[in-house]
Amino acid sequence: MTIDLEALYIDLHQHPELSFQETRTAGIAAEHLRDLGLEVEEGVGVTGVVGVLANGDGPVVWLRADMDALPVAEQTGLPYASTVTGVDPAGNTVPVMHACGHDMHVTAMIGAVERLVAARAEWSGTAVVLIQPAEEYGAGARAMLDAGILSRYPKPDIVLGQHVTPLPAGVIGVRSGTQMAASDGLTVTLHGRGGHGSRPHATIDPVVMAAATVMRLQTIASREVDPRDVAVVTVGSIHAGLKNNIIPAEATLELSLRYPNDEMRERVLASVERIVRAEAAASGAEREPEIRTDHTLPPTINDAEATARVSAALRRVLGETSVIDPGMFTGSEDVSWFARDADVPLVFWFWGGLDPAKYAAAVAAGTVNSDIPTNHSPFFAPEIHPTIEVGVTALETAAREFLG
């Protein structure tokens, strides 16, 4: 009996779960993998699932799909739109939506494993299936590795993964080298000296210090980085004060930094630190600012030789024009921790989930940025077909390329 992947996708879409809370999703994935004959372990790195499809001697391929959803209120208007809420780590009740398409990733993974099982007479080796939690925290891959999967399961020769994206359905986007940026999330605390709003001369105002810091941080990308390179410095959150006539004692900034490689990472981090400290000094701060790293994601770098093999295989199966180079994405992923820790190649590609006619119309009108909802948008809505089928085929094809 074949698995009804459409029903699986709709079920997962209607029951999205926040990072590290994906117990229902993990249970469903584990059940399918068990039904398909895999050896399955649950609760790996909190809610992760590992399935092993051992099929004789040969290469070991790790196949990864992430499964968490986001605190977003779905506005797609789809008949199967999510209406559920969850509780975030701060204890707030929040709407939850599969706004990044990870429901599609799990669905495609189950479909690909089903095909690998059906075709097991044609290949030999071991496929290790990773259903990963908490990609949106940048923490799930690390949690699974910290649970010892590298030593407890067959070590990979290659790690493969894919992400659904707003490209036309049927199109695969993959590039050799840096596919996605590295990222750090920082929290900066600036210390001033509080006091009465009518007596600024008796205070060290952290609001002004924060404002100057935010503006100066913009010069990293615009004045320090070679215009031919890419770096992003975003201050996504700024908090200080409670009332108009009180000068607060401190201000907090939250930064999101992105870069294509480790060298740029070091340069940008050094610039952030230099500017934060210098602006505090310029304000006459009596206490050094604190810079805390909340998360670190490595660049997602595709191995040249393995990417060429995957691209050629996908062209053979999906059509000569189906594989494009989408350029580097400034978004970040934690998939490469698996390959980095194992010291093996990674290939991570994007597959399109959009109605090709809609996409072509937006391209013609020059309105891709305004008309095409991207991942994390409340309007993000991959077409069910052929997105599922292309995702299944892409993952199966790439796995078979290495499984002989």
Closest separation in Å from C-beta 100 to Zn ion: 3
Closest separation in Å from C-beta 240 to Zn ion: 29
Question: Which CB sits closer to Zn ion, 35 or 88?
Answer: 88
Q: Which residues pair with 348 in a beta bridge?
A: 161
* 3-state percent helix, strand, coil for the chain, nearest multiple of 5: 40, 30, 35
Question: Which CB sits closer to Zn ion, 63 or 100?
Answer: 100
Residue 100 contacts Zn ion per CB under 5 A: yes
Question: Which CB sits closer to Zn ion, 100 or 174?
Answer: 100
Q: Which residues pair with 237 in a beta bridge?
A: 254
| Sequential DSSP letters for 122-157 | G--EEEEEEEE--GGGT-HHHHHHHTTHHHHSPPPS
State the greatest distance between any 2 C-alpha atoms of the chain, in Å, as a whole number.
81
Question: Which CB sits closer to Zn ion, 129 or 208?
Answer: 129
Question: Which CB sits closer to Zn ion, 100 or 149?
Answer: 100
Give the count of beta carbons closer than 10 Å to the beta carbon of residue 136.
20
Range in contact with Zn ion (rule: CB under 5 A) among 25-33, 99-107, 179-187, 303-311: 99-107
Question: Which CB sits closer to Zn ion, 62 or 348?
Answer: 348
Closest separation in Å from C-beta 376 to Zn ion: 6
Closest separation in Å from C-beta 116 to Zn ion: 23
Peptide bond into 386 cis (omega under 30): yes
Closest separation in Å from C-beta 281 to Zn ion: 37
Question: Which CB sits closer to Zn ion, 100 or 143?
Answer: 100
Q: Which residue has the tokens 């709003």?
A: 197
Residue 8, Cα to own-chain centre: how many angstroms? 22
Residues 101, 164: Cα–Cα separation, whole Å? 6
Closest separation in Å from C-beta 165 to Zn ion: 9
Count interface residues toward Zn ion (CB under 5 A): 1
DSSP state of 376: T
Closest separation in Å from C-beta 342 to Zn ion: 22
- Map residue 160 onto helix, strand or coil: strand
CB 297 within 8 A of CB 332: yes
Range in contact with Zn ion (rule: CB under 5 A) among 97-105, 212-220, 305-313, 351-359: 97-105
Site for Zn ion in 133-172 (CB under 5 A): none
Range in contact with Zn ion (rule: CB under 5 A) among 26-34, 93-101, 309-317, 392-400: 93-101
382 CB burial (10 A radius; 0-12, 13-18, 19+): buried
Where does this chain bind Zn ion (CB under 5 A)? Answer: 100
